[in-house]
Amino acid sequence: MLELISSYSTFAILVAAAVHLFAFAVLAGWARSDRKRIAQTLERFTAGLPHRSRMDFHVHLSDQIEAFLADISDVMAQPLRSADRARLADRIRILDERREYLHSLRFETAWNVARTMIEAYPLAGVLGTILAIGSALAADDQASVNVIVTRFGDAIWSTFAGLSAAILLMLVGSVVEPGFARLSENRLGVREMAAKVKRELSVLEQSGAEAPTEASDKAATPEDGTA
C-alpha cells in the first residue's frame, strides 16, 4: 500500500496543480464579471451628467469605476438644489449597495483558499519523498536494487513536482492577485458611495417634502391683528 501511494504522489501533485491553475482562471473570470457589472451600473447611474468622465474602451474597468465614483463625488459636492443632484435622486434605485456582486465574502474566501493552498505543494512534495523513502526501507531483503532505486527516484520527482508547482502557482498568483485586491477596493468604494448618496439624497427628498408643508401652514395661519 505504501509503495502504491508513493508511486502516484508525483502524479497527484501535478493533477492538484492543474486544478489549482483552473481555480485561478475561474477567479479571474469571476472578478472580471463582477467588475464589469459594477462599471455598467455606475455608467447607468451617471448617464446624462454634464461633466461625466469620458474614457477610451481599452481603459481598465477598475479605472472606469474610480472615475465614475469621482463623478458622483463631484455631483454630491454641488448645492442641495442643483439639477445634477436631483437627477441622481431620480435614479437612486439603480445604485443599490445590497446588490450581490458588491458583497465580496464568497469571492475573497475562494481567493484566500487558492492563495493559501500554494504553500501546501512543497509540503506535499516532502510527504511524497518520505513515503517513497519509507517504501524503500520497508522492502524485504529480497528486493532488487532496481526497486530501491525506483523508490528513491519517486522521492526525487515528488520533491521536484511540489517545488515546481509552488513556484508556478506563486508566479500566476502574483499576476492575478493585484486585480483581485483592486476589485475589493472598488467594491468597498461603491458600497460607501452608495450609502452616502442614499443618505444625502434622502435628506434632500425629505427637506423638499417639508418645504411645501411649511408654506401651506404659514398661508393657513391668520395674521396678527385681523378681525
Residue 153 identity (one-letter amino acid): G
∠11-16-22 over CA atoms, to 5°?
Answer: 130
Helices (H), the chain: 2-7, 9-46, 61-76, 83-90, 105-116, 120-137, 145-220
Q: Record the cell numbers describing residue 139, joined without a space.
A: 522492502
More confident residue, 185 or 98: 185
Backbone angles phi and psi of 224, in degrees to 5: -65, 140
Instruction: Name the amino acid, one letter, at 195.
Output: A
Q: What residue type is assigned to position 201 of the chain?
A: L
pLDDT of residue 85: 73
Summary mean pLDDT of the chain: 78
Tell me: pLDDT of 173 over 90: yes
Q: Could you tell me which residues come within 8 angstroms of residue 16 by beta carbon, excluding any fewer than 6 positions away?
A: 121, 124, 165
- pLDDT per residue over 65-112, tens digit each? 888 788 777 777 777 667 777 777 666 666 665 566 677 788 999 999
Poorest-confidence range of 19-28, 46-55, 71-80?
46-55
Q: What is the pLDDT of residue 28?
A: 94
Neighbours of 190 (CB within 10 A): 23
CA distance 95 to 84: 15
pLDDT attached to residue 215 = 47
Residue 223 φ/ψ, nearest 5 degrees: -75, 155
Name which residue leads in pLDDT, 174 or 10. 174
Query: Residue 138 in contact with residue 6, Cβ under 8 Å?
Result: no
CB atoms within 10 A of CB 125: 25
Interior CA angle at 100 toward 96 and 103, to 5°? Answer: 95
**Mean pLDDT, residues 44-70 taken together:** 75
Q: Output 208 or 197, whichever has higher pLDDT.
A: 197
Determine contact, residues 91/79, Cβ cutoff 8 Å. no
pTM of the shown model: 0.75
pLDDT at 55 over 70: no
Q: Whole-angstrom Cα distance, residue 210 to residue 201?
A: 14
Query: In which band, very low, low, confident or very high, does the pLDDT at 42 lie, cut at 50, 70 and 90?
Result: confident
Q: In this predicted model, what pLDDT tens digit does every residue of 114-170 receive, in sequence order?
A: 999 999 999 998 888 888 777 777 766 555 666 667 777 878 888 899 999 999 999
